[in-house]
Amino acid sequence: MDAEPVAQAVAAPATALDLAAAEDRVLVAAFLAGSQDAFQVIVTRHQRAVYQVCYRFVRNHEDASDLAQDVFLRAFKGLKNFKGDSALSTWLYRVGVNCCLNRIAARRPDTEPLLESRHVDPRSDDPFRALARSEKATEVKRAIAQLPPRQRATLLLRVYQELSHEEIAGILGGSVGAAKANFFHALSNLKRLLQS
């Protein structure tokens, strides 16, 4: 984060209306200057994405909402350490992935609901095809849950959050090459798990 915009944001406290439209870096600066409203805007802006990341790891609403709350609480305590060398969303993903990996490490085996499946509309053009796709999707999600944690994190961030390999390397630590290799092994293992 540039020092100048931060200083400007701190020097001129923003109104609630300004905050809602402010860029993330301005919100962070305002929060660090003592604005609780700025943090509230950060939560409102990023809650859905953070929740989705958490949900993809734990695959149930209760744990995902608990984890997402934990992410924002950690963010509240740790935003002073946010250097601004990445997007705030990437930094929040990093906090979220760490929370999720800790949860996964603490809870084995994975607690994925056994009967989780997509709703199949019988009025659809081809309900049999829809059912087959639904079953395949359930298998894929189960297979993802069996991947080693870092491969799983890499896969979820790349495929569903559409982050670049550089961003993933920044979140998980390590080189871009290692992030790509992780992604390759995640896909290969997934293929093997689905064939077995």
Partner 1 sequence: MTTHLSPQESVTALDDVLPESRQAHLKSCASCQTEVDGLRAMMVDLGDAEDVPEPSPLFWDHFQSRVQAAVQGEMVRPARVSWWSIVASVRGAVAAVAAVAAAATVAAVTIAVALYPGAPVAPVAPMEDAQVAVADDAMALETAEWAFVSGMLDSFEPNDVREVLAPSTLAVDNAFASLTSGEREVFAKLLSADLAQGME
Site residues (CB under 8 A) for partner 1? 36, 39-40, 43-44, 47-48, 51-52, 55-56, 61, 65, 68-69, 72-73, 76-77, 118, 133, 136-138, 140-141, 144, 155, 159-160, 165, 177, 180-181, 183-185, 187-188, 190-191, 194
Residue 114 CA to residue 182 CA, distance in Å, equals 27
* CA–CA gap between residue 22 and residue 36 (Å, rounded): 14
The angle at the Cα of 191, spanning 186 to 192, to the nearest 5 degrees, equals 100
- In the block, tokens 């509230």 appear at 40
In whole angstroms, how close is the CB of 7 to partner 1 at the nearest point? 25
Q: How far is the CB of 107 from partner 1 (least distance, A)?
A: 20
Rounded-to-integer distance, Cα 129 and Cα 114, Å: 22
Task: Find the shortest distance in angstroms from Cβ 17 to partner 1.
Answer: 18
Helix (H) or strand (E) holding 169: helix 165-172
Closest distance between partner 1 and the C-beta of residue 68, in Å?
A: 7
Closer CB to partner 1, 65 or 146, in the complex: 65
Cα–Cα distance, 28 to 91 (Å, whole number): 12
Smallest distance, partner 1 to C-beta of residue 67, A:
12
| Gap between the Cα atoms of 91 and 85, Å rounded | 9
- Residue number with CB closer to partner 1 (2 or 195): 195
Angle between helices 149-159 and 127-145 (to 10 degrees): 140
The residue (of 25 and 141) whose beta carbon lies closer to partner 1 is: 141
Q: Which is nearer to partner 1, 29 or 67 (CB)?
A: 67
Nearer to partner 1, 87 or 181 (CB): 181
